[in-house]
Structure 1
Amino acid sequence: MRRSKWLWPTLGWTTLVCLLLMLTGFGWALKDSWLPESGIALPEPSAPEKATGGDWSGKTELYVTALGDSLTKGTGDATGEGYVDRVVERLAKEMDKPVHLVNNLAINGLRADQMADRLEEKGFATAISKADIVLLTIGGNDLFQVAQDGGSLAEGGDLSPELLLERLPGLRPRLETVMSKIRELNPTARIAYVGLYNAFYDLPQMLGASDVVAQWNDYAFALAKADGNATVVPTYDLFEFDLKKYLSSDHFHPNEFGYSRIADRIVQALQ
C-alpha cells in the first residue's frame, strides 16, 4: 500500500522533469535559428550567377547597335548585307517580334584603341545606350596589321606567328577597355562579340597564327564571362575548315556565305 502511495507521484514528477528538459532544449534550438549569435549565424544563400542570356520576353521589340571594323561594315560581301542586316532579319523571325537596327557604326580599318576613343563621342554613346543588343567585331586590325610599306594581305605581308605572339600582350588591354566602356554606356545590353579567325590558314608559314588567334579568343571569353551578359561567337572553325568557301577574293574578309554563317551563329547565341 505504501509502495503504491509513492509510485504515482514519483512517476508524475519524473515525467514533468523530462518534459521540462525537452521543452528547454527545443527552446534553445529555436533560439539558435531565430536569434543566432555572432559566429553561428546561418550562411546567406549564394547569389545566383549573372545571366548570360538576354531576357527579352517582356519586350515587344528589340533594338540593335553594331560596332566594329570592316567585318561589321560587311566588306567583302557582294550583296552588301554583311552579317548585321542578316542578324536583324533572322532574329526578328526567330523571336517573332520587330528588331530594329539603331545604327551600324562600323569603320573600315578600325583598331580597338581607336574604338575606345570613338566611344567617347556622343553619337556612339547615344546609339549604344538605346540598344538591347550590341554586335561587336574588333581586334583583327590590331593583330593582323600589315607593313606600312604596303605588304600584301594575300602574301601575309610581314606577318609571322612569332610577331603576332609578340604583339598579343600589349593588345589585350585594348579589348578590355572597349568592353568596359560599352558596359558603362549600357549596363543591361547583351554584347555579342564575334571572335577572330586566321584568314591566312592556307599559308604554311601562317599556320601557327591560329594558336595566337585562339589565345585572343580565350581572353575575349574570359572578359565575357566576367561581364556576365556578354557572349563570344566563335568563327575560327568555319574558316579553317573551309577557307576558300567563306573568304572573299581579298583573302581577308568573309564573302556572302561567310557572313551568312556568322549571322546564323550570332542568332543562335542570342536565343
Structure 2
Amino acid sequence: MKKRLLELAGFVLAILLIFGILLLVFPAAKSEFRGQKATQKTEKTLNYAALGDSLTEGVGDATGEGGFVPLFAKQLDNSYNVTVDYENFGKAGDTSAQIYARMTSQKKIEAGLKKADVITITVGGNDVLKVIRENISKISTLNAKDFTQPAKAYQKRVRKIFSTIRKENPNAQIYVVGIYNPFYLNFPNIKVMQTVIDNWNTATKSVVASEKNAYFVPINDLLYKGLDGKQAIEESSSSTTSESSTDTVQNDLLYTGDHFHPNNIGYQIMASAVFASYKKEN
C-alpha cells in the first residue's frame, strides 16, 4: 500500500512539473482576454432618438418592439464599433403640428433630442390624411392642387421642428423618412394620390435640403408596389378586369390589419433604407 501511495505521489509530482514547464515556455493567454475586455469598455455609445408618428411607434409591427427603430439601431450596432442607446418618441396619428407640440412640451423628448447623435423623423402622412378628411365632401373631385397650400403650411411646421432641435442640438445627424402611397395596389383608379405623395415628399425634401447635417430618406418606391414591385391591376391587365379581381390585390409589405401601415418586412425595408443613408454619410 505504501509503495502504491509513493508511486501515485510521484505521478502527481510529475504532472505538476510538466504543467510548470509548459507555463514557463508558453505565454499566458490572460493578456489577450484583458485586451478584448478593454476594447469593449472603450466602445462609443451612440445616442439615437426617434421622433414621429405611427411609423416611428411601429404600428403594424407584429413583435411590438417599435417598427424600424430597433432594426435600424441593431444595424448600427452590428456594423460600427458602437453601443446604440435609443429612445422611441413615436405616437400614432400625430401630424407635424402635434409632433411639434409634444417635442416642445414633454421634458423626456426634449432631453432625448438634446443628447442624440442621430435623430430620425417620420412626418407628413397624417398631414396628407388631414387634408383628405377636410375635403371628404368633394373626395371624388379632389386633385393635386387642393394640397398645394396645405403643403406650404406643412413646410413651415417642419422648419419649426428643425429649428427647435437645432437650438439645443446643432450637430446631430437628422434623417427624415418620406411618406408612401398605401392605396396604390388596392385603389389603382385613385391616380391623384401618387401625385400628391410625390409632391408632398418633394416639399419635405426641400426643407431637409436647406438644413445642415440633415438627410431625406425616400421610401415610396420601396413600398408602394409591394415586395415584388408589381404594378396595379389596371396597368398589368386589360381594362375589362373585373371589379372583384381588383379587390384581391394586396400590398404584401403592409400590415393585414389595416392595409395601411408597414408589416415586419416593410419595416425592415425602411430600416435598411435609413441605414443605407447613414452609411453613405458616415
Q: Describe the superposition over 1:1-42 as per-residue Cα deviations: whole angstroms up to 9, x where unpaired.
A: xxxxxxxxxxxxxxxxxxxxxxxxxxxxxxxxxxxxxxxxxx
1:6 aligned residue? none
Residue number among 152, 159, 169 corresponding to 1:176 in the alignment: 159
Instruction: Determine the C-alpha separation between the residues in 2 that align with 1:90 and 1:190.
Output: 16
Which residues in structure 2 correspond to 1:73-88 (within 5 Å)? 73-81=57-65, 82-88=67-73
Alignment match, 1:258: 266
The residue that corresponds to 1:113 in the other structure is 97
Question: CA RMSD, aligned part only?
Answer: 2.4
1:233 is matched with: 217
Answering whether residue 231 of structure 2 is matched by residue 248 of structure 1, we say no
Distance 1:133 1:159 in 2: 42
Distance of 2:119 and 2:83 partners within structure 1:
16
Report the AA paired with residue 248 of structure 1.
Y
Partner deviation per Cα, 1:211-261 (whole Å, 9 max, x = no partner): 222222222222222112011111000122317121112121100000000
Q: 1:130 aligns with which of 111, 115, 127?
A: 115
Whole-angstrom CA distance in 2 between matches of 1:204 and 1:160:
15
Moved over 6 A (4+): none
Q: Distance in 2 between matches of 1:184 and 1:197?
A: 30
Deviations 1:166-196 (A, max 9, x none): 6323322222222222222311100011101
1:140 — aligned with what?
125
- Distance between the aligned counterparts of 2:177 and 2:267, measured in 1? 11
Which position in structure 1 is the counterpart of 2:182?
199
In structure 2, how many angstroms separate the alpha carbons of the residues matched to 1:160 and 1:98?
48
Structure-2 change in CA distance of 1:174 and 1:158 (3 Å): farther
* Letter aligned with residue 169 of structure 1: K
Query: Could you tell me how far 1:270 is from its partner in structure 2?
Result: 0.8
Separation of aligned partners in 1, 2:192 and 2:133: 19
Of 42, 46, 56, the residue aligned with 1:72 is 56
**C-alpha distance 234-209 of structure 1, shift in aligned 2 (>3 A):** same
Q: Which structure would you say has the larger Rg?
A: 1
Q: In 2, Cα distance between the equivalents of 1:246 and 1:98? A: 30
Provide the rounded CA distance (Å) in 2 between the counterparts of 1:227 and 1:96.
28
Query: 8 Å contact 1:62–1:100 — kept in the other structure?
Result: yes
Q: In 2, distance between residues paired with 1:158 and 1:91?
A: 45
Does the 8 A contact of 1:139 with 1:175 survive in 2?
A: no
How many matched pairs?
A: 207
> Match of 2:82, SS?
coil
Displacement of 1:61 in angstroms is: 2.0
In structure 1, C-alpha distance between the alignment counterparts of 2:43 and 2:55, rounded to whole Å: 29
Q: Which amino acid in the other structure matches residue 168 of structure 1? A: A
Provide the secondary structure at the position in 2 that maps to 1:61: strand
Q: 2:71, 2:271 within 8 Å by CA — same for their partners in 1?
A: yes
Amino acid at match of 1:257: I
The answer to whether the Cα contact below 8 Å between 1:196 and 1:217 also exists between their aligned partners in 2 is yes
Match of 1:10 in 2: none
The equivalent residue for 1:30 is none
Report the secondary structure of 2:44's partner residue: coil
Letter of the 2:80 partner, please give it: M
1:75–1:253 contact (8 Å) kept in structure 2: yes
1 CA distance for matches of 2:141 and 2:174? 30
